[in-house]
């Protein structure tokens, strides 16, 4: 207590003073970070990164499914062969667009798995049996570690760590952050192979090829949009050309990412087992979609050059014209000149009536 008073100093501070605005702002920002961004590790767990479907992929799939459902509702009011025509056309178009957008955010362009029996943590002689996986995408690499069984050494072994090499991000700092957090040895061992300072030299290779592959995929998306607009305007030849451009840019993306397979990769060895990676589902899905675009575009261009009448039948152009002609003929046959409304009444007739 202060001399000559009975009020404690702490009580004086609490009841008669307030922290400066800068301190309040700092406390508010820290609380928001704890709540929304999982900033304090002892109280909030670190954000888990999904391997198969992340949030962006789910949002993309939902958006395209909403468009598909809306078009299905519209198809209910269409009769005859046009219903099947529009169903196939809309399904193929939305499938191609969804694949082009979604594969930009997947982590399975290159994948690999192996079962290991190795040390779990540094400065420990305890071994664990687990499945180690590596998943490479355009923006980085995901490394997974799943125990067989998951409950070993009195804890659940199920890790998935993401290390990004996008421009503007520091892969080395992410790797050192993993060291500070004490990640399992198999994850750190694989992550070290992709560091810029590693003698493997795969960091720049995957980073540059992923950036070019992603850029060409976005160009393919623009070509896909133009092809839909041109086909909707019945400009079939140019629409077919843009579908071919879509397929070719998807092939260019595959070639850009496939260049990583030509350089010798460092061996990822775990005692008696070796982790080998291969092209993943996203690569083969993109290849199948690109071939589909090339087939559709070639068919449209060939029919527009050699058999334009057949192309009109495929896109139901003649059917709509015939309906208009039938309506016009029906109107001309049933309405005679005598039944047409009088355009005006002579002034003499009006005077007689008056």
Residue 315 lies in a domain: no
Predicted confidence at residue 231, as pLDDT, reads: 93
Predicted confidence at residue 261, as pLDDT, reads: 76
pLDDT(250) > 90: yes
Tell which wins on pLDDT, 39 or 92.
Answer: 92
Backbone angles phi, psi at 212, to 5 degrees: -65, -40
- Quick count: other Cβ atoms within 10 Å of Cβ 208? 15
Domain identity same for 138 and 220: no
pLDDT(28) > 60: no
Domain identity same for 177 and 214: no
Domain identity same for 191 and 275: no
Residue 354 lies in a domain: no
Among 268, 260, 8, residue whose Cα is nearest residue 112 = 268
Res. 220 pLDDT band, cuts 50 70 90: very high
According to DSSP, the residues that pair with 286 across neighbouring strands are: none
Predicted confidence at residue 270, as pLDDT, reads: 86
Which secondary structure element, helix H or strand E, spans residue 315, and what is its range?
none
Residue 151 lies in a domain: yes
Residue 31 lies in a domain: no
The residue segments making up the domain with residue 187 are: 110-195
Mean pLDDT computed over 39-57: 58
Mean pLDDT computed over 22-39: 49
Share above pLDDT 90 across residues of the chain, in percent, rounded to a whole number:
44
What is the 3-class SS of 247-289, one letter each residue?
HHHHHHHHHHHHHHHCCCCCCEEECCEEECEEECHHHHHHHHH
Residue 19 lies in a domain: no
Domain identity same for 190 and 116: yes
Which of 195, 229, 257 corresponds to the end of one domain? 195
Domain identity same for 227 and 175: no
Res. 19 pLDDT band, cuts 50 70 90: low
Which of 134, 161, 195 corresponds to the end of one domain? 195
Q: Which of 196-200, 210-214, 293-297 bottoms out in mean pLDDT, i.e. has the lowest?
A: 196-200
Residue 215 lies in a domain: yes
Domain identity same for 164 and 224: no
Averaged pLDDT score across all residues of the chain: 80
Q: Which of 71-75, 327-331, 339-343 bottoms out in mean pLDDT, i.e. has the lowest?
A: 327-331
- Overall number of domains in the chain: 2
Predicted confidence at residue 204, as pLDDT, reads: 85
Domain identity same for 190 and 230: no
Domain identity same for 169 and 240: no
Q: Using DSSP, state whether 32 is helix, strand or coil.
A: helix
Predicted confidence at residue 50, as pLDDT, reads: 58
Tell which wins on pLDDT, 192 or 328.
Answer: 192
pLDDT(320) > 60: no
Predicted confidence at residue 10, as pLDDT, reads: 40
Residue 53 lies in a domain: no
Domain identity same for 182 and 131: yes
Domain identity same for 221 and 175: no
Tell which wins on pLDDT, 143 or 37.
Answer: 143
Instruction: Provide the whole-model pTM.
Output: 0.74
According to DSSP, the residues that pair with 270 across neighbouring strands are: 273
- Give pLDDT tens digits for 158-171: 999 999 998 878 99
Domain identity same for 217 and 168: no
Domain identity same for 238 and 304: yes
Predicted confidence at residue 290, as pLDDT, reads: 97
- C-alpha 119/C-alpha 133 separation (Å) is 16
Residue 149 lies in a domain: yes
Which of 149, 176, 195 corresponds to the end of one domain? 195
Q: Would you report the helix, strand and coil content of the chain in percent, each value rounded to 5? A: 60, 15, 30
């Amino acid at each position: 207590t202060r001399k000559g008073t009975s009020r404690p100093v702490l009580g004086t501070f609490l009841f008669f003073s307030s922290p400066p605005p800068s301190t309040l702002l700092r406390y508010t920002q820290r609380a928001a970070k704890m709540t929304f961004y999982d900033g304090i590790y002892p109280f909030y767990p670190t954000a888990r990164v999904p391997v198969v479907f992340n949030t962006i992929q789910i949002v993309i799939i939902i958006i395209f499914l909403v468009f598909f459902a809306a078009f299905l509702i519209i198809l209910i009011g269409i009769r005859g062969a046009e219903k099947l025509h529009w169903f196939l056309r809309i399904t193929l178009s939305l499938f191609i667009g969804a694949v082009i957008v979604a594969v930009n955010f997947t982590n399975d362009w290159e994948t690999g798995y192996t079962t290991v029996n190795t040390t779990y943590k540094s400065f420990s002689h305890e071994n664990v049996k687990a499945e180690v996986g590596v998943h490479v995408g355009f923006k980085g690499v995901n490394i997974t570690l799943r125990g067989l069984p998951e409950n070993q050494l009195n804890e659940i072994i199920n890790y998935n760590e993401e290390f990004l090499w996008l421009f503007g991000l520091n892969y080395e700092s992410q790797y050192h952050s993993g060291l500070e957090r004490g990640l399992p040895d198999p994850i750190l061992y694989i992550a070290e192979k992709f560091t810029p300072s590693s003698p493997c030299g795969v960091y720049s290779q995957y980073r540059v090829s992923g950036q070019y592959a992603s850029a060409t995929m976005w160009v393919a998306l623009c070509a896909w949009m133009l092809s839909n607009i041109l086909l909707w305007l019945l400009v079939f030849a140019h629409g077919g050309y843009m579908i071919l451009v879509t397929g070719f840019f998807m092939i260019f993306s595959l070639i850009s990412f496939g260049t990583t397979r030509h350089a010798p990769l460092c061996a990822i060895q775990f005692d008696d087992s070796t982790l080998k990676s291969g092209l993943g589902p996203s690569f083969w899905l993109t290849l199948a979609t690109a071939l589909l675009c090339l087939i559709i575009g070639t068919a449209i261009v060939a029919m527009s050059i050699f058999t334009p009448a057949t192309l009109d039948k495929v896109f139901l152009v003649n059917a709509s014209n015939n309906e208009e002609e039938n309506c016009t003929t029906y109107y001309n046959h049933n309405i005679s000149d005598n039944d047409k409304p009088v355009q005006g009444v002579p002034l003499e007739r009006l005077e007689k009536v008056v």
